[in-house]
């Protein structure tokens, strides 16, 4: 893997292009991008107005720097600072964002800028997709998860009492600026949670990348060249899947590796982030997906052990028993899985694997197999 070989230039910025025809865009990855955001935006967008949407954790750290950078190139920015956390992805806050964007007189060529993690990106992106039937949208993702996953691909949306992400639109960004330096202020736990999605790309179809992560994860956590490399490889992987299947009618589902079990665990813990955050659910889910594949004689149990060993080494939970507090019984977890959208006439759609980096979509997994597996793995 030449791309993974550290060299004299490896600390330099990376550019990942997402070739989606008239919706094509660039993802820039590297340190110091917020300070340069004005130049990068002005070079690509005609408008000279912007509305920056951010949250209370990110604003004190990076908002002034972004605003100043825009002002230097003559872009006037309105700002909106929202509460942090998943609850912000609501109709109520969507209304506030739309009001701010309209109040700032944002026209079609002007930009909504999301400065924050996936919560802000999903919400601001939704507003950008619907205000004036679509205005320009720039993602400045500040969490590892948003840099490697949510800022790429154009899915936007909010939650309702029926469930997560049920109302939204596809609206691709015009530019993604992933400033890798800002990850230094992210909590270790949030960084690890994002890392689960990084490892996921290796487990889907990049066995060499997974092996590289096993050898280099400490450097990825520490920052520097390896961090940029891991984020760029992840963005490339996500971009490839998105280009192949922009609206998730087929192969994009591979990105759900570990997510069916993970979502069930998130539901079982009532989305209480003090017990489980999304990436942690995905980590446990990916181990379960590998173990389940081994149980179905599709993959070697050694692969599941290898996945678990790596995720454990970085400090992620890997077992249901690692989640603090009691879990509902296996039957309840099974109900959550069955309510998931990936169910067709009694058979479940699952992302299974034939080994590290050999995931595939199976749409005929018997529910009874899943239930007995869950009973076996349940900590009680």
Residues identified as active-site: 133, 155, 197, 238, 248, 252, 256, 259, 263, 278
Compute the least distance from the CB of residue 299 to ligand NAD, in Å: 25
Compute the least distance from the CB of residue 5 to ligand NAD, in Å: 28
Q: Which is nearer to ligand NAD, 189 or 375 (CB)?
A: 189
Q: Which is nearer to ligand NAD, 126 or 292 (CB)?
A: 126
Main-chain dihedrals φ then ψ at residue 174, nearest 5 degrees: -95, -15
Compute the least distance from the CB of residue 192 to ligand NAD, in Å: 11
Strand blocks (E) in the chain = 14-18, 25-30, 49-55, 76-82, 111-116, 136-141, 158-160, 163-167, 175-179, 343-344, 347-353, 359-366
Compute the least distance from the CB of residue 259 to ligand NAD, in Å: 9
Q: Which of 107, 100, 175, 105 is nearest to 137 (CA)?
A: 175
Q: Which 3 state secondary structure label does DSSP give 361?
A: strand
Give the C-alpha separation, 374 to 268, whole Å: 13
Compute the least distance from the CB of residue 31 to ligand NAD, in Å: 12
**Quick one: 76 exposed, middle or buried, by C-beta within 10 A (0-12, 13-18, 19+)?**
middle
Give the C-alpha separation, 348 to 206, whole Å: 25
Give the C-alpha separation, 370 to 331, whole Å: 10
Give the C-alpha separation, 246 to 238, whole Å: 11
Contacts (Cβ under 8 Å, ≥6 apart) of 239: 16, 17, 18, 27, 152, 153
Residues binding ligand NAD (CB under 6 A): 55, 57-58, 61, 84-86, 89, 116-120, 122, 142-143, 145-146, 149-150, 153, 155, 164-165, 182, 185-186, 190, 278
């Amino acid at each position: 893997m030449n791309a993974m070989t550290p060299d004299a230039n490896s600390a330099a910025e990376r550019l990942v292009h997402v070739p989606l025809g008239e919706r094509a865009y660039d993802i820039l990855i590297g340190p110091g991008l917020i300070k340069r955001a004005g130049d990068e935006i002005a070079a690509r967008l005609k408008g000279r107005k912007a509305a920056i949407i951010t949250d209370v954790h990110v604003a004190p750290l990076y908002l002034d720097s972004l605003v100043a950078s825009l002002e230097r190139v003559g872009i006037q920015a309105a700002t909106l600072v929202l509460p942090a956390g998943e609850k912000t992805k609501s109709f109520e806050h969507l209304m506030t964002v739309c009001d701010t964007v309209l109040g700032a007189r944002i026209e079609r060529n002007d930009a909504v800028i999301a400065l924050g993690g996936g919560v802000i990106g999903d919400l601001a992106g939704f507003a950008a997709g619907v205000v004036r039937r679509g205005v320009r949208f720039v993602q400045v993702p500040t969490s590892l998860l948003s840099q490697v996953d949510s800022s790429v691909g154009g899915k936007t949306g909010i939650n309702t009492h029926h469930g997560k992400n049920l109302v939204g639109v596809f609206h691709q960004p015009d530019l993604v600026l992933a400033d890798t330096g800002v990850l230094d202020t992210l909590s270790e736990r949030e960084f690890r949670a994002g890392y689960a999605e990084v490892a996921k790309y290796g487990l889907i179809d990049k066995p060499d990348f997974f092996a590289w992560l096993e050898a280099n994860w400490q450097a990825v956590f520490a920052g520097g060249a390896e961090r940029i490399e891991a984020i760029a490889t992840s963005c490339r992987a996500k971009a490839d899947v998105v280009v192949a299947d922009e609206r998730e009618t087929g192969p994009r589902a591979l990105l759900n590796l570990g997510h069916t079990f993970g979502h069930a665990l998130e539901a079982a813990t009532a989305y209480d982030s003090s017990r489980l955050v999304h990436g942690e659910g995905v980590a446990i889910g990916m181990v379960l997906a590998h173990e389940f594949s081994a149980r179905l004689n599709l993959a070697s149990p050694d692969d599941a052990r290898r996945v678990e060993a790596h995720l454990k080494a970085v400090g992620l939970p890997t077992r249901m028993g690692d989640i603090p507090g009691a879990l509902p019984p296996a039957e309840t977890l099974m109900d959550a899985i069955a309510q998931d959208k990936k169910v067709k006439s009694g058979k479940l759609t699952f992302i299974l694997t034939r080994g590290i980096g050999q995931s595939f979509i199976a749409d005929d997994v018997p529910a009874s197999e899943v239930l007995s597996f869950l009973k076996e793995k349940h900590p009680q």
